A = this chain, B = another copy of it.
Amino acid sequence: MLHTSPNTFGRSLRVITFGESHGTAVGLVIDGVKPGLPFDLTAIQQELDLRRPGQSDLVTSRSEKDLIQVLSGVFEEHTTGHPIAMVVFNENHQIGDYEAIKHIFRPGHADFTYDKKYGFRDYRGGGRASGRETLARVAAGAWAKQQLTAIGVAFKSFNREIAGIACKVIDWDFVQKNPLRVCDPGVFHAQRAAVEAAMDAKDSVGGISEIHICGLPVGLGDPVFSKLDAMLAYACMSIGGVKGVEFGAGFEAARMCGSQHNDAIANDSFCANNAGGILGGISNGDVVILRLAVKPTSSIGSRQKTIDWSGQEVEIEIQGRHDPCIAPRLLPVAEAMCALAIYDAWLTQSELMPETVSDISDYDWDSIEEILLKIWDETKK
């Protein structure tokens, strides 16, 4: 069931985010926290740093340190069981950037819909609709990940496609070494060139992001409405710029026969993973795999047709600092949302969950890669 609180995520673990792009601060409150857990602020800051602007020449140059501070809920470096409030004060306001477009609806943005819905809007950098809101998600997700790591759940994410150029192999190590967070060194340069070409043309490109969740025990997710895939889809579709989500074989499943698509079962494991690790809405012990369609950045410098507040048609060339492709900086946000959905599902039914959990260091990433690759190849042939 979805809740009336549009700024809160989760059922047993609840995260409310607040704050605008160019307001005083962006922050969050986590409720439903178990008491006595170690609280590692440094690890949270590290995740924020992955999302932070200005990391390479392929992302926006807005300068924000994004230093997070804790206001409550932590005592002697442990959670107290009471709400954890965290906040980042905004520093690099450049409101002047936005004065010019105060009365104009930027195509692809929420300007039009916010204005029609609320009657007015905080036009400074998108206000609440800004991607800056996601730093609060990343902070909460980083905390959720700490808890999940302790029970053997690991997240891996990378970009599968950039600007329509698909990766052919998954090289886990390479992912963290390139600014596009793609997984195939063989096509990286073509992808990079496509992004740079878009920058030169004052344009932008999209991509396909992929998230793997390893080490989930069997039994997460509820049948009927709160299926694990439904919850992950909801979590990821709530990220600005995501236009589609698929699990396992995904849209390609629609083109398979039942005898092809059904994962045969042997020794409690599934021979292929077309299901993407979820059967009947419940995790089956396999790797959960999902892919997100990420649209090209809406803010582009080239001339576009639009209208202003009065309905008058105008043209616009958006100034300011923007990512030519949001897929790289979207990955930590997507991981964070998945972590929140998974940890929430775990807490919601902790009594049904096994005592013994996986040891994260045991994962055979190479064999996982092999299986994943096979799926991908099949869906492409």
Contacts and interface: CB of A to CB of B under 8 A. Distances in A.
A282 B85 contact: no
Given A108-B275, A352-B117, A237 B229 contact: yes
The 9 closest A-B pairs by CB, nearest first: A110-B280, A244-B246, A6-B222, A1-B3, A204-B258, A113-B282, A234-B234, A164-B255, A108-B262
Please state the number of chain copies in the assembly.
Answer: 4
A243 B227 CA distance: 12
B258 A297 contact: yes
Interface of A: 1-12, 14, 16-20, 23-27, 29, 31-32, 34-36, 69-73, 75, 78, 80-85, 87, 105, 107-110, 112-114, 116-122, 127-129, 133, 161, 163-164, 198, 201, 203-208, 218-219, 222-227, 229-231, 233-235, 237-238, 240, 243-268, 271, 275-276, 279-285, 293-300, 302, 304-307, 311, 313, 344, 348, 350-352
Contact of A72 (B23, B224, B299): B23
A80 B118 CA distance: 7
Nearest to A218: B116
Contacts of A70: 24
B71 A128 contact: no
A311 to B, nearest CB: 6
B24 A7 contact: no
Q: Which of A31, A203, A234 has the most chain B CB atoms closer than 10 A to its own CB?
A: A234
Contacts of A128: 80, 82, 223-224
A87 B69 CA distance: 14
A362 to B, nearest CB: 20
A107 B263 contact: yes
Contacts of A119: 35-36
Nearest to A84: B18
Contacts of A252: 293
Given A133-B224, A344-B2, A244 B243 contact: no
Contacts of A238: 224-227, 230, 281
Contacts of A201: 257, 259
A255 B203 CA distance: 13
Given A35-B118, A258-B298, A129 B206 contact: no
Given A119-B36, A255-B206, A284-B113, A72 B262 contact: no
Contacts of A313: 266-267
A248 B256 CA distance: 24
A222 B81 CA distance: 10
